[in-house]
Amino acid sequence: MDPTQKIAKNLERFAQAIAAHDRENPTHHSWGIGLAPFDIERLGLEEGEQILPGIVIQADGGVTGNFRVLCDGDHDQELEEAEEEVVEAVSTQALPAIQPTPGRFGDE
């Protein structure tokens, strides 16, 4: 997956999570997506960046690899906080191994 596709995929997940949250909590107003600072960086996002209409990226102390829907409503953290996985933006493609070249010193 190229980086543009990963960003699109994450935006899709953010949008879906917000839609689900708003559906379950019609009195809440969601305004952001909470990400660990590490994830903001590796996804190539910026804190405060508006990624969807009315939705900004916010650094939080949450778990790396997941995101949180941020809203102005109250949640029972234990029961309702839904964390979603973000798509890995870092390539996990293996590099070809460098083969050691056999050889020795001296000439006996």
H-helix segments, 1-108? 3-24, 37-42, 77-80
Q: Is 82 in the site for Zn ion (CB under 5 A)?
A: no
Q: How far apart are CA 108 and CA 103, in angstroms?
A: 13
Supply the minimum distance, in Å, between the C-beta of residue 79 and Zn ion: 12
Supply the minimum distance, in Å, between the C-beta of residue 95 and Zn ion: 43
Among the listed ranges 37-45, 49-57, 71-79, 98-106, the one in contact with Zn ion (CB under 5 A) is: 71-79
Contact 34, 56 (CB under 8 A): no
What is the DSSP-derived secondary structure letter of residue 62? Answer: -
Among the listed ranges 1-9, 53-61, 72-80, 82-90, the one in contact with Zn ion (CB under 5 A) is: 72-80
Bridge partner residues of 66 (DSSP): 85
33 class by beta-carbon count within 10 Å (0-12 exposed, 13-18 middle, 19+ buried)? buried
Q: Which of residues 13-32 bind Zn ion (CB under 5 A)?
A: 25, 28
Q: Which of residues 44-63 bind Zn ion (CB under 5 A)?
A: none
Q: Which is nearer to Zn ion, 56 or 71 (CB)?
A: 71
Supply the minimum distance, in Å, between the C-beta of residue 80 and Zn ion: 8
- Residues in the site for Zn ion, rule: CB under 5 A? 25, 28, 71, 73
